[in-house]
Amino acid sequence: MAPDASFFPPSGPFSAEELSAISGADLARRPGRTSRYDNVAALDSAGASEVSFLDNKLYTDQLKMTGAGCCVVRPENLELVPVDAAVLISDNPYLAYAAIASAYHPDWDETYVPQTDDDRIHASATIGDGVEIGTGAVVGPGAEIGAGSRIAPNAYIGRGVRIGENCRIGASASIRFSVIGDSVAIYAGARIGEPGFGFAVSDTGPVSVPQVGRVVIGDSVEIGANTTIDRGAAPDTIIGAGTRIDNLVQIGHNVEIGRMCIIVAQVGIAGSTKIGDGVQIGGQSGISGHLTIDDGARIAACSGVMRDIGPGETVAGAPAIPMRQFFRQTAALSRLAQKKES
């Protein structure tokens, strides 16, 4: 699935030869039919007209089953690409992908900047009945604000953002590249949809990878003050209905959080981690990227989670381990230290 064109209209299309020239990757296999490609997409959702890549070997199985029409991979992975797809090979597929994605999306961090008060609430925005929009607040072109919603002063609603009914957006909060359900509360200073922390490493320093996914927020979600939720890199960042997120929480790009989760203040969730329904995460805990936390898991405050957590499992510590084991280790260490002393 390509990026949402209402936020990220693609340039192109480009042929496999053009993509090779753009990225510096070698065209190692060309498909039988002459093709042109319309856009980039994630491996697990790409279609025949889309380009994808494999960099993190964690996703090798996705490569083998991808529907992408063109893939950028390391030389040793050439044979893993499904036979009907073109293959570009590179020693640094992520860097090559960055160049390709930048060609499709040269203005991927497009920001609506009204410069006169007449443009502050853009004429093309759709404003529902009974909506209040405070002084200084911005509503971009094509944005939609559902009936009964309240946008506090100096908030920023970017181009094309859709906000449901009866939402409350706090003072100076900002929302970009996002689709938000009904009855959602986003408190003051929260940052929804800023670009994720995505870059490829090159000899001349980090190169930004276009962040062309959205933030999708379900009904009745609450998001605390000064919390930051980055938009996806190509898939979306998703927050399920009824989930409550406290203040100063960081949620990285591509994270998926289920329904009715409780995420206490200052938690950090790194990119691409998937969290089930009804998960509870104590304050200041950190969760590494690319993990799966199953339904009903409970993570104690101040934990550092470095592995998958099974359904209903309760963990604590850094690295996080089952809670009972954590308490045993704490007790064992305490006894050990006393013994040394005597």
DSSP string, 17-84: HHHHHHH--EEEE--SS--EE-EE--TTT--TTEEEE--SGGGHHHHHT---SEEEE-GGGGGGS-TT
Alpha-carbon distance of 269 to 283, in angstroms, equals: 12
Told to check if 114 binds a copy of itself by CB under 8 A, we report yes
On whether the CB atoms of residues 2 and 42 are closer than 8 A, the answer is no
Binding to a copy of itself (CB under 8 A) within 2-61 occurs at none
The verdict on 127 binding a copy of itself (CB under 8 A) reads no
Q: Does 133 bind a copy of itself (CB under 8 A)?
A: yes
The one among 29, 36, 120, 290 contacting a copy of itself by CB under 8 A: 120
Residue matched to tokens 């809670």: 323
* Residue 138 interacting with a copy of itself (CB under 8 A): yes
122 part of the active site? no
From the list 23-31, 36-44, 56-64, 152-160, the region that binds a copy of itself by CB under 8 A is 152-160
Q: At closest approach, how far in Å is the CB of 310 from a copy of itself?
A: 18
Cβ–Cβ < 8 Å for 316, 303:
yes
Choice from 20, 23, 172, 237 touching a copy of itself (CB under 8 A): 172
172 vs 189: CA distance, rounded Å: 5
Q: Does 154 bind a copy of itself (CB under 8 A)?
A: yes
Of 27-35, 52-60, 95-103, 111-119, which segment contacts a copy of itself by CB under 8 A? 111-119
Among 174, 211, 237, 254, binds a copy of itself (CB under 8 A): 174
Residue with tokens 């994808």: 52
Stretch that binds a copy of itself, among 1-9, 11-19, 96-104, 313-321 (CB under 8 A): 313-321
DSSP of 282-319, one letter per residue?
-TT-EE-TT-EE-TT-EE-TT-EE-S-B-TT-EEETTT
Query: Does residue 314 touch a copy of itself according to CB under 8 A?
Result: no
